Amino acid sequence: MRVDFDNLLNLSSVEIFAKPFFYFVSPQALSDDLSTELLGWLQRDAPWKLVETDFYEQYEISFWDVDVPPRILVFRDPDFLKALKMRVGDLFSVELGTEIDIAAHKLIHGQRIRIHNDLVAGETTYRLLIQLNRGYKDENGGLLLLFNSSNPADIHKAFRPIHNSAIGFAVSPTSNHAVSTIHRGERFTLVYSFYSKSENG
């Protein structure tokens, strides 16, 4: 099946920022129908697994490891991934390799993600986060926070997890970010991780 990429991924009105680290934002990531269908599956049927580390507690799934309904298969379709990699590579001004990780995250009441930078020694990683939330209100919490430094009080900007919005960033020693505590509802995010071509071909 040939994927009509242009009708599925929007990434419109992209704004690019260089400080405090390289990141971009877009008010719309996916087509409206596709984002709604994905959110419905994440809410009703996704086989979530609780993961706990020293800086977060959240539910996760890998799109490579679970069965997904036919309509959701597009998110790991080779043609879709090839086109997505080219689009994201252009935004980062880099040539990306073949390896792509695809995961979804869910945060519920009381959960949060403390400040961290996602850096793994020996890897050059680029992330695309697509927010999926129904009827978000400020009192729900779950803001995506970007920091000017590793100081949790040194906030650069806070982003509401508005449904179908996106943010991409280059992982580095300065890519400090966090998610504030969830007070109401659930917070879903689709996460694509890309790697530089020199590391994985």
Looking at residue 7, what is its pLDDT? 74
Q: What is the pTM of this model?
A: 0.93
Looking at residue 197, what is its pLDDT? 78
**Residues 184/150, Cβ–Cβ less than 8 Å:** no
Topology, domain 5-200: Jelly Rolls (2.60.120)
Q: Each residue's pLDDT tens digit in the chain (201 positions)?
A: 455 666 788 888 999 999 999 999 999 999 999 999 999 999 999 999 999 999 999 999 999 999 999 989 999 999 889 989 999 999 999 999 999 999 999 999 999 999 999 998 778 899 999 999 988 999 999 999 999 999 999 999 999 999 999 999 999 999 999 999 999 999 999 999 999 877 555
Query: DSSP readout, the chain?
Result: ----HHHHEEEES-EEE-SSS-EEEESEEE-HHHHHHHHHHHHHT---EEEE-SSBEEEEEETTTS---GGGGGGG-HHHHHHHHHHHHHHHTS-EEEEEEEEEEEE-TT--EEEE----TT--EEEEEEEE-SS--GGGB--EEEESSS-TT-EEEEE---TT-EEEEE--TT--EEEPPB-SS-EEEEEEEEEEHHHH-
Looking at residue 200, what is its pLDDT? 56
Looking at residue 42, what is its pLDDT? 97
Domain extents in the chain: 5-200
**Total residue length of the chain:** 201
Looking at residue 5, what is its pLDDT? 65
Q: Cα separation of 50 and 128, whole Å? A: 22
